[in-house]
Amino acid sequence: MRDPQYSDEALLQLIARRDVNALETLYDRHARTTYSLISRIVREAAIADELLQDTFLQVWRKAGEFRGEGSAAAWLWRIARNKSLDQLRRQKARPQPIATTLVDEQYSWSTPITANATVEQTTERALARQRLRQALSDLPIEQRMCVELAYFEGMTQYEIANYVGIPVGTVKTRIRLGIEKLERMLRAAGLEVEDVEP
C-alpha cells in the first residue's frame, strides 16, 4: 500500500472503505506538514500533537465525504486548520509564542558565531532576531501564518493558498499587510528590515 502510485484522492477512497494501510500512507505523506500548520496556530507542542491525531481520526471517519472539490491535501489541511482555530476559540486566548529554542530550530535563527564576529556583533544579531520573533508573534495569526510559510518555508503564494485553503488573492493581501506591519514594528524598535537575518 505504501506505493507512491496511489494519489491522495485514491487513498481517501480506500480509507472510506476502512483501509488502515491507506490511512497510514496518507499519514506518512502529510503528518509533518499538517503538524507544522497546527503548531503555527496553537503554538503548544502537546496540543498540536493531540490535534494532529484528531485530524487524522476525522479523516478516517469522514473520508467518504470528500467530494473532490480541490485537492485531498487541501481538504486535510482545512480539517487541521479548523480544529486548531476551534481550539483557540475554546481557550479564548491569542496564540502563545513558541519557545525560543523551537523557533530557532524551526527557522534556523541561531546564526553560528564565526571567528570574525565580535561579541557586540553577535549580541546585536541575537537582539535583532529576538525583536523579529516578537514582531512576528504580534501579527494577526492569519497574516503571520502566510508570512512564515512564504519567507521561512519558501512556499509560493499558490502553494500557501492550497495549504491553508484560501484564495491566492487573500494570501497576497495577508503577506503584504503582514510585511508592512513587520516593517513598522521593526522600525519602531530602531531596526531596519535589512538588519535582521532570519
Percent of the chain with pLDDT strictly greater than 70: 75
Q: Is there a domain that residue 146 lies in? A: yes
Domain-embedded: residue 2: no
Q: Residue 1 domain-assigned?
A: no
Give, in degrees to the nearest 5, the angle at Cα 125 between 122 and 130.
125
Cβ proximity of 104 and 97 under 8 Å: no
State the Cα torsion 14-55-32-78 to the nearest 10°: 90
Q: Are 25 and 72 found together in one domain?
A: yes
Q: Which of 85-89, 90-94, 132-136, 172-176 has the lowest mean pLDDT?
A: 90-94
The label of the residue with cell 496518507 reads 26
Residue 148 lies in domain: 100-190
pLDDT, one tens digit per residue, over 143-171 is 888 888 887 777 788 888 887 778 999 99
The better pLDDT of the pair 3, 195 is held by: 3
Residue 116 domain flag: yes
Query: How far is C-alpha 95 from the geometric centre of its chain's CA atoms?
Result: 13
Radius of gyration of the chain (CA): 19
pLDDT digits (tens, 9 = 90+) for 23-58: 999 999 989 888 888 888 888 888 999 999 999 999
SS3 assignment for 125-142: HHHHHHHHHHHHHHCCHH
Distance CA 80, CA 77 (A): 5
Please indicate, yes or no, if residue 32 is contained in any of the structural domains: yes
Contact 145, 40 (CB under 8 A): yes
Residues 154 and 134 in one domain: yes
Output the domain CATH number for residue 105: 1.10.10.10
Residues 119, 58, single domain; the answer is: no
Give the three cell numbers for residue 118.
565580535
- The answer as to whether 40 is a domain residue is yes
Under 8 Å CB-to-CB from 25, ≥6 apart: which residues? Answer: 1, 2, 3, 6, 11
Instruction: Confirm whether 161 is domain-assigned.
Output: yes
Residues 135 and 84 in one domain: no
Among 56, 91, 126, the domain-final residue is: 91
Q: pTM of the full predicted structure? A: 0.54
Q: Do 41 and 121 reside in the same domain of the chain?
A: no
Last residue of a domain, one of 91, 123, 149: 91
Look at residues 41, 65, 91 and tell me which one is the last residue of a structural domain: 91
- Whether 70 maps to a domain, the answer reads yes
Mark whether 132 and 159 lie in a shared domain. yes
Query: What total of structural domains would you count in the chain?
Result: 2
Q: Give the three cell numbers for residue 90.
A: 475554546
Pair 15, 62: CB distance under 8 Å? no
